[in-house]
A and B are shown apart, each in its own frame.
Chain A
Amino acid sequence: MMKPVVDLMVLGILGFPALAVLALGLRAWAYRPWSERATVGIVGFAFTAAVADCALSSVWLLTADVTEVRVPLGSWFSVGHYSFDWNLIADRLSIPFAAFSAVLLGLVASFSRRYLHREPGFARFYLLLAIFGTAVELVVLAGSLDLVFLGWELVGLTSALLIAFFHERRGPVEHGLRAFLTYRLCDVGLLAAGVALHFMVGTSEVGPSTGGPWAGFVVPSTWAGATIVGLLIVWASMGKAAQLPFSGWLPRAMEGPTPSSAVFYGALSIHLGPYLLLRAESILQASGLAAGAVIAVGALTALHATFVGRTQTDIKSALAYASMTQVGLIYVEIGLGFRYLAVAHIVGHAAIRTLQILRSPSLLHDHHHLEQAMGTQLPRTGGHLERLVPNALQPWLYRVALERGGFDALLKDWIVGPALRFIGRVDRWDQAWVDYLTKPSAVRERRSRHDEVRP
């Protein structure tokens, strides 16, 4: 008898932020934005209601001794055998994430009220925050990879727009575009994984529980199939989680407002990659190779980020690399199959990192405050790595770390640059053909000029 009520509660976790998007979006389009107080009230209420729904759902799960509740909302569209269904799932993995996300989003909404007071983009920030909240809850509660993709795309879009929040400066805009490019390239993996799952097992839905702590996506019957899907999911997760070699956007993403940096790159967006891996863990373990890839990517990223982070001279970049390091370690935990450890690590890391980023504008003040309280200078930390690395290697390592491991240069000089130059050349050939058709005389003149300067 309680099932319909629980279904509604699970739906509410997603529905309240969505309604906030509607309320803010329609008024903004009509040129009648809500007042600051009303805006914060709407967003705050939406996330508070989502938290309450999460709490009630988890209480029901515990008291009814049920491991999961599935909420089928019907088919969005279907053609022949293919159907895109809306199914939500509330279980031991999704409910803690959903609750945690709603709490953090509500707190950030409350914090930003003073932080962004009278900021020209105040309404825009809250609208994007509400869209982001809806998208995160959709990813977390999604009962299929198709639905995950839906929320995943919206997370990427809001993330890029918030990085470029201070749009009158070029830096944030260029960094927002870079982040978006990385997201889109990695989103290819997620959509391809969904398509591959449909092709191999006929569905991309979360399958029945097979004895693990939570249910995962249906595993393809062959090792090759599981490996392909697993690697595609790993590829998809690397973009959002800023793992090597897609890590360059994260320190640049800190150009956005501090509250959005905190909730996106300290807490929620960056942990969606690990969340996806946790949901797909059955596929990763069935493959083995994919699980190994997760470990390798995580370990390399953690090593890279911990070295590079130590050479950063601004607090936000240092925190970005610290986040990257921790997420790399979470990857290793997931790859090794330590599921509960990974979940605890995610929650703990997200909480502390959000706090650190939110306090980062007051860093000097806090530093002075601490020194005054202690009556002495704060001791230097992080020296253990210096003791481990041989002296002869330290200058070289320092230089490599300053250059961020050379990954940015590698991407720019060896991949993006040549690709764009080649595309540009093809475009010029096309334009030359058009010139030949419309102005043959101009082409002949150009050719003769070219011949003249040729030695």
Chain B
Amino acid sequence: MMIAFAALQLLLLLPMSWVVGRSNSSRTARHRASYTIAIAGIVALAHLAWSAFSLPGLDWTAHWLSMETPYSWAPAFSLITCLMGFTAIALSPISETRPTTFRRILLLISVALVFLAIRHPIGLAVLWSASALITWLELRDLEQPRGIAKLFAIYHLPSAVAFALGAILLTQGHSAAGLVLLLVGIGIREAVLPLHSWFPPFVQHAPMGLVVAFFAPQLGVYAHLELLRGELPHQLAHSVASVGAITAVVAAALGLAQTNGRRALAFLIMSQTGLVAFGLDASSPVAQIGALLTWQVIGVATAGFAMTLASLEARRGNLSLTAPVGSFTRTPRMAVAFLFMGFASVGLPLTLGFVAEDLLVQGSVDEFPVLAFALILATALNGVAVMRAFFMLFSGSAEHIGECDLTRREAGALTLVMAMLLLTGLFPGGTVRRLEHVTGDQGHIATEPDLGAVGDGHRRAAKMETGLEIDRF
């Protein structure tokens, strides 16, 4: 049923993105886009309910697209993608977001939803390039700074090319070269060290809604799961995990030295994605589930955090972190949302972020004792970065400069996000159980004798030919 619901969402999002782009004003565009993504979210919710109650699906299989047996968690991620899209749109300030930008945000969310429904490497490569192209078009339209589109292209053109070549090589059975190219492509998109330099300027200068729509769905993680899971040789997987951990620590440290709110956010996100990269390539299922949960947390909490920051920036202008110059006396809700969302993204107790990081650390200590300690240090530094940003932006001044608190629309969206983070944090059992299927599948793949040794791309090619899905076990 994944394809049916994804098609339904596309049928809604694609025409509406055109309508949104043709709107007379940004306010109207935001209004239309909000309703559109809300309806797409309802479709995703229906899909989740359908899957939860195991209702009958269409008796139709598509070998090429291999959509009919999605991961058990895919409906949930579809809903999360809609939620992050809703957050990105509802909280996008009209001062920096034009109707065209809203259209591109809807398109990026559409791409992300289809990405979750498709499992063929070539299809994924096409969507991968499409999302980069949409984002580049938006950056090209920006008046300032002029070099940002160029910088984005310098990094994402090789990323798209590497991903496409890797996907082709993988389908042809040339697994070693294919895997390396895919890793390069994904590494650039996920901004792991040392391929990260495009990311801080991107977050600093691009419209925040676009940043969230492009980055928060974490297509790289899905591509990693779909194309690389269980394929990497042990040494390579170990190296990738190490690079992820180093990214997490270095980015967390760099975040502390930032004097601009947006750049600090960029390094916080980088640190979080480093944690995901680390966990995905750890061999322990506990760490892998921790990584997948961190993926969700980035999607929800970090997106909410980023959009709260954008809302504040729209009211105040440049967000400097050099000295405490704000006051939350008149903006208490915004301050609370900022603090809650920030800490939820770095593991506030009783939220999903805490569960994610606990599993990540507990699961990795056996395999990477030193790196597990580094992860703990990274989360500690990220917490300090969030608190520093909160204090610098919301306290230190008695002057009121006319900032208003969250509007009803903004408060509604953030309440939804916060409620989700708290509820999934307080009752994480269902979420964790869904993710257990993923890691369970991997274990099955790794021990499957007739599909050859781990790292053998012929296995994937054989599956593509026979229409056998990875997680049909």
Interface of A with B (CB < 8 Å)? 28-29, 31, 75-80, 82, 84, 120, 146, 149-151, 153-154, 157, 160, 164, 167-170, 173-174, 176-177, 180-181, 184-185, 187-188, 191-192, 195-196, 198-199, 420, 423-424, 426-427, 430, 433-434, 437-439
Q: Chain B contacts of A120 at CB under 8 A?
A: 329
Q: Can you offer 20 A-B residue contacts whose CB atoms are under 8 A? A: A29-B333, A76-B355, A77-B432, A84-B358, A146-B358, A150-B350, A157-B348, A164-B391, A168-B327, A168-B396, A169-B396, A173-B324, A180-B384, A192-B376, A195-B361, A195-B372, A423-B257, A426-B250, A430-B200, A437-B150
A contact face: mostly helix, strand, loop, or mixed: helix
Contact A167 B256 (CB under 8 A): no
Q: Chain A contacts of B285 at CB under 8 A?
A: 79-80
Q: How far is the CB of B77 from chain A (nearest CB, A)?
A: 18
- Given A79-B432, A177-B388, A439-B147: A198 touches B200 (CB 8 Å cut-off): no
Contact B384 A195 (CB under 8 A): no
Q: Does B349 sit within 8 A of A, measured CB to CB?
A: yes
Q: Kindly state the separation between the CA atoms of A180 and B383 in the bound complex, as whole angstroms.
A: 9
Contact B336 A438 (CB under 8 A): no
Contact A176 B391 (CB under 8 A): yes
Q: Does B373 sit within 8 A of A, measured CB to CB?
A: yes
- Given A76-B428, A173-B324, A199-B366: A168 touches B329 (CB 8 Å cut-off): yes
Q: How far is the CB of A21 from chain B (nearest CB, A)?
A: 11
- Given A31-B333, A120-B329: A427 touches B258 (CB 8 Å cut-off): yes
Q: Does B415 sit within 8 A of A, measured CB to CB?
A: yes
Contact A199 B365 (CB under 8 A): yes
Q: How large is the interface on B (under 10, 10 to 19, 20 to 34, 35 or more residues)?
A: 35 or more
- Given A184-B381, A423-B253, A430-B200: A77 touches B429 (CB 8 Å cut-off): yes
Q: Kindly state the separation between the CA atoms of A185 and B378 in the bound complex, as whole angstroms.
A: 10
B369 nearest in chain A by CB position: A199
Which chain B residues in 312-343 approach chain A with CB under 8 Å?
323-324, 327-329, 332-333, 336, 343
Q: Which of B285, B289, B381, B395 has the most CB of A within 10 A?
A: B395
- Given A173-B324, A195-B361: A180 touches B380 (CB 8 Å cut-off): no
Contact A420 B257 (CB under 8 A): yes
Contact A181 B200 (CB under 8 A): no
Q: Kindly state the separation between the CA atoms of A154 and B429 in the bound complex, as whole angstroms.
A: 22
Contact A173 B396 (CB under 8 A): yes
Q: How far is the CB of A445 from chain B (nearest CB, A)?
A: 15
Q: Does B274 sit within 8 A of A, measured CB to CB?
A: no
Partner of A192, one of B289, B323, B327, B373: B373
Q: Chain B contacts of A79 at CB under 8 A?
A: 285-286, 289, 359, 363, 432, 436
Contact A157 B343 (CB under 8 A): yes
Q: How far is the CB of A145 from chain B (nearest CB, A)?
A: 12
Contact B257 A198 (CB under 8 A): no
Interface flags, B368-402, vs A, CB<8A=1, else 0: 01001100110011011001100100111110000
Q: Chain B contacts of A157 at CB under 8 A?
A: 343, 348
Partner of A427, one of B257, B286, B395: B257
Q: How far is the CB of B196 from chain A (nearest CB, A)?
A: 8
B196 nearest in chain A by CB position: A430
Contact A185 B380 (CB under 8 A): yes
Q: Chain B contacts of A433 at CB under 8 A?
A: 197
Contact B151 A438 (CB under 8 A): yes
Q: How far is the CB of A455 from chain B (nearest CB, A)?
A: 30
Q: Chain B contacts of A185 at CB under 8 A?
A: 380
Q: Does B137 sit within 8 A of A, measured CB to CB?
A: no
B290 nearest in chain A by CB position: A79
Contact B380 A187 (CB under 8 A): yes
Q: How far is the CB of B153 from chain A (nearest CB, A)?
A: 10
Q: Chain B contacts of A177 at CB under 8 A?
A: 384, 387-388, 391
Contact A174 B324 (CB under 8 A): yes
Q: How far is the CB of A141 from chain B (nearest CB, A)?
A: 15
Partner of B197, one of A31, A174, A184, A434: A434
Q: Which of B197, B328, B415 has the most CB of A within 10 A?
A: B197
Q: Chain B contacts of A191 at CB under 8 A?
A: 361, 376
Contact A82 B359 (CB under 8 A): yes
Q: Does B154 sit within 8 A of A, measured CB to CB?
A: yes
Q: How far is the CB of B312 from chain A (nearest CB, A)?
A: 16
Contact A82 B363 (CB under 8 A): yes
A-B pairs, 10 with minimum CB distance: A438-B147, A167-B395, A168-B398, A423-B257, A184-B380, A150-B349, A77-B428, A173-B324, A79-B286, A173-B395
B325 nearest in chain A by CB position: A170
Contact A29 B336 (CB under 8 A): yes
Contact A423 B394 (CB under 8 A): no
Q: Kindly state the separation between the CA atoms of A200 and B262 in the bound complex, as whole angstroms.
A: 41
Q: Does B362 sit within 8 A of A, measured CB to CB?
A: yes
Contact A437 B254 (CB under 8 A): no
Contact A195 B197 (CB under 8 A): no
Q: Chain B contacts of A195 at CB under 8 A?
A: 361-362, 365, 372, 376
A165 nearest in chain B by CB position: B395
Q: How far is the CB of A232 from chain B (nearest CB, A)?
A: 10
Q: Which of A78, A79, A150, A180 has the most CB of B within 10 A?
A: A79
Contact B349 A170 (CB under 8 A): no
Contact A170 B329 (CB under 8 A): no
Q: Chain A contacts of B366 at CB under 8 A?
A: 199
Q: How far is the CB of A346 from chain B (nearest CB, A)?
A: 25
Q: Does B201 sit within 8 A of A, measured CB to CB?
A: yes
Contact B253 A29 (CB under 8 A): no
Interface flags, B124-156, vs A, CB<8A=1, else 0: 000000000000000000000101101100100
- Given A188-B380, A430-B200: A173 touches B391 (CB 8 Å cut-off): yes
Q: Kindly state the separation between the CA atoms of A170 and B250 in the bound complex, as whole angstroms.
A: 29
A421 nearest in chain B by CB position: B257
Q: Chain A contacts of B428 at CB under 8 A?
A: 76-77
B327 nearest in chain A by CB position: A168
Q: Kindly state the separation between the CA atoms of A187 and B376 in the bound complex, as whole angstroms.
A: 9
Q: Kindly state the separation between the CA atoms of A188 and B374 in the bound complex, as whole angstroms.
A: 10
Q: Kindly state the separation between the CA atoms of A146 and B324 in the bound complex, as whole angstroms.
A: 34
Q: Kindly state the separation between the CA atoms of A28 and B359 in the bound complex, as whole angstroms.
A: 32
Q: Chain A contacts of B328 at CB under 8 A?
A: 167
Q: Chain B contacts of A434 at CB under 8 A?
A: 151, 197-198, 200-201
Q: Chain B contacts of A188 at CB under 8 A?
A: 373, 376-377, 380
Contact B197 A164 (CB under 8 A): no
A420 nearest in chain B by CB position: B257
Q: Chain A contacts of B377 at CB under 8 A?
A: 188
Q: Chain B contacts of A82 at CB under 8 A?
A: 286, 359, 362-363
Q: Chain B contacts of A149 at CB under 8 A?
A: 349
Q: Chain A contacts of B394 at CB under 8 A?
A: 167
Partner of A154, one of B147, B323, B349: B349
Q: Kindly state the separation between the CA atoms of A28 and B415 in the bound complex, as whole angstroms.
A: 13
Q: Kindly state the separation between the CA atoms of A105 and B63 in the bound complex, as whole angstroms.
A: 65
Q: Chain B contacts of A84 at CB under 8 A?
A: 355, 358
Q: Kindly state the separation between the CA atoms of A196 and B358 in the bound complex, as whole angstroms.
A: 13
Contact B197 A430 (CB under 8 A): yes
Q: Chain A contacts of B332 at CB under 8 A?
A: 28
Q: Kindly state the separation between the CA atoms of A80 and B345 in the bound complex, as whole angstroms.
A: 25
Interface flags, B227-253, vs A, CB<8A=1, else 0: 000000000000000000000001001
Q: Kindly state the separation between the CA atoms of A120 and B286 in the bound complex, as whole angstroms.
A: 46
Other contacts beyond A196-B365, A437-B150, A437-B197: 7, CB < 8 A: A79-B285, A149-B349, A168-B396, A173-B395, A177-B387, A188-B376, A427-B258
Which chain B residues in 76-92 approach chain A with CB under 8 Å?
none
Q: Chain A contacts of B398 at CB under 8 A?
A: 168-169
Q: Kindly state the separation between the CA atoms of A423 and B395 in the bound complex, as whole angstroms.
A: 25
A79 nearest in chain B by CB position: B286
Q: Chain A contacts of B258 at CB under 8 A?
A: 427
Q: Kindly state the separation between the CA atoms of A154 and B148 in the bound complex, as whole angstroms.
A: 40
Q: How far is the CB of B38 from chain A (nearest CB, A)?
A: 22
Which chain B residues in 395-427 approach chain A with CB under 8 Å?
395-398, 415
B257 nearest in chain A by CB position: A423
Q: Kindly state the separation between the CA atoms of A174 and B323 in the bound complex, as whole angstroms.
A: 9
Q: Chain B contacts of A438 at CB under 8 A?
A: 145, 147-148, 150-151
Q: Chain A contacts of B257 at CB under 8 A?
A: 420, 423-424, 427
